[in-house]
Amino acid sequence: MIDNIQVGKTIAKLRQNKNMTQQQLAAALSVSHQAVSKWETGAALPDVQTLVALTRLFGITIEQLLEGEVLEDRVEPPKSASPFDESIQNIGNFVNNIVDSVGSIFRSERKDAADDGAEDAQATKTAQESDEGNADAPESDASGETAEPFDVQTLLQMAPFMSKAAVDELLLENKDKLTAGDIARFAPFASQECLEKLIQTNDEQLDWDVLRKVAPFLKRDMVDGLARAAAKGGRTVKRAVNQTINTDELGKTMQDVGQKIGAGVEKALRKASKLGGEMMEEMSSAINGIVEGVKEKQNRVDALRRAACERALQDENWEWLADHVGDIKDEELLREIAQKANGLGMHDWVLEHLNGYADTRTIDAAIEAGNWGWLGDHVWQFEDDLQEKIALAAAKQENWQWLATYAEQISLENCADEIALAAYRAEARVLALQLATHCMNDAQREKLADAVVEAGDFDFFDQLKDVLSPEYIGRVLVAVAQAGEWERVKRFAESADSDSIEKLMELAIAEGNFDAIDALDKYL
């Protein structure tokens, strides 16, 4: 089974290795930058034709791209494992080599632990000194002048067209003004180094939704650390990142699990020389017992958190819920909270703390009031069906400017052709072409082209031809030739496929149209 997340990470690493922005990769593949973003986050996979283009661009095979098995010089080398991860690896090595290396594993483990402990202590000290040194840094620029106001929404709209270096510079200069949600939105456009710095210095609460959005753009060891911290109750981004960077703190966070694993392994080792083959069963039993114990404890913790949230919901303690809703994993409970909040008219609260759970009443009210500015600010947070609902409403009101601004940022998978047709008929042809280029599949483009041909608008057909397949253009030209419109055939013949050119040649010969025969001959 293809792992969308792994494929997305591989595409992101290969792109970064070529120093390409998402916009540049999209241009090279003739797709939208939203499509590239969806690939890299694992929300979608490229189609077969695009997969072939990707492999040619990066010089790898399709199998390597889909399985994440690319050459080491094409991706960033991984960091060394943390002491906790090394301990787990040592357990695996011990199981695989139990007869030959029982003693050597524990000697190596003790030595590694001592060395890593010293290194971690020095790293922690250095990090603390750095933090203290930067605590009083001024907020103004070098000239002492006050900086221009920083607009997150404007920068987000411009980011796909900027270099990573420029995006990094602006984000780092204004890192204190960014929320965790803002960082997640900028993740596809910032460098990995910048993203890590923003997460480390941001004081907003870390929740699973934010972590899921930034994970494809971070190194695996950082994602592992953030996930562990969140699972163990690490409440803030700063705390989670510190747990990722400082391996001694990660050891403390997982200390209870580590101690149990260590006790189980040592017990098994003491019996290894006496019990022989029975030791394997002892090892398996010890580890299985630990794993089951951790699962049971996590289930109890989840049940308690759910009960606390249900009580807060009953008491309408929205302030407490805002602080703890990020810990909730139960989709049913999240919907229940959103439903009650929406029922009380707390739509902005839902948007801020429960992205994606705004109900249709919120959308309908904004559309009826013509509040398109608010819809533009929040549309990217809604589920796909709500995004399409808003886009169709904009088309119905002929708000073409709003659609031109936001069409490429939202999902229009099921309605792009309908909106494009409405725009074309309303003379908003720039928008129709924009949708055909960035938001429509081949079938939807052909539906739009059919309407254009039926209207006899071959000037606009000329603008569309670059996003239409040669086979489709060939079919259109055959029909045009049968209608005796050979000048139009000659105008678009170079864009048709070879099979259609042969059919057109046969028609020209049958009619004795030697001018068309000469024009078509060079395309055979």
Residue 356: how many other CB atoms lie within 10 Å: 14
Q: What is the pLDDT of residue 136?
A: 44
- CATH of residue 69's domain is 1.10.260.40
Ranked by mean pLDDT, the top range of 21-35, 299-313, 483-497 is 483-497
Cβ(240)–Cβ(201) below 8 Å:
no
pLDDT tens per residue, range 213-249: 777 777 777 777 777 766 655 444 444 444 444 444 4
Q: Which domain holds residue 35?
A: 4-74
Q: Please, which residues have CB within 8 angstroms of residue 73's CB and are 6 or more apart in sequence?
A: none
Q: Residue 473 pLDDT more than 50? A: yes
Measured distance CA(103)–CA(304) in Å, rounded: 43
Residue 361 lies in a domain: no
Residue 54 lies in a domain: yes
Q: What is the pLDDT of residue 424?
A: 95
Cβ(39)–Cβ(8) below 8 Å:
yes
Q: How confident is the model at residue 255 (pLDDT cuts 50, 70, 90)?
A: low
Q: What is the mean pLDDT of residues 60-65?
A: 82
Residue 30 lies in a domain: yes
What tokens does 232 get? 């163990």
Domain final position from 269, 295, 315: 315
Measured distance CA(162)–CA(176) in Å, rounded: 21
Residue 359 lies in a domain: no
More confident residue, 475 or 175: 475
3-state secondary structure 464-502: HHHHCCHHHHHHHHHHHHHCCCHHHHHHHHHHCCHHHHH
236 has which bridge partners? 205
Residue 210 lies in a domain: no
Domain final position from 74, 93, 126: 74
pTM for this model (two decimals):
0.40
Residue 366: which of 393, 401, 335, 339 has the closest Cα? 393
Residue 514 lies in a domain: no
Q: What is the pLDDT of residue 260?
A: 53
Cβ(164)–Cβ(190) below 8 Å:
yes
Rounded alpha-carbon distances, angstroms, from residue 305 to 205, 300, 310, 373:
17, 9, 9, 37
Q: Please, which residues have CB within 8 angstroms of residue 488's CB and are 6 or more apart in sequence?
A: 458, 477, 480
Measured distance CA(301)–CA(230) in Å, rounded: 13
Cβ(445)–Cβ(467) below 8 Å:
yes
Residue 126 lies in a domain: no
Q: How confident is the model at residue 250 (pLDDT cuts 50, 70, 90)?
A: very low
Measured distance CA(124)–CA(92) in Å, rounded: 29
Domain final position from 74, 93, 125: 74
Residue 60 lies in a domain: yes
Burial class (CB in 10 A: 0-12, 13-18, 19+), 59: exposed
Which residue do the tokens 């739009």 mark? Answer: 448
What tokens does 242 get? 């510190």
Q: Residue 128 pLDDT more than 50? A: no
Portion of the chain with pLDDT greater than 70, in percent = 70
Q: What is the pLDDT of residue 188?
A: 81
Domain count, the chain: 2
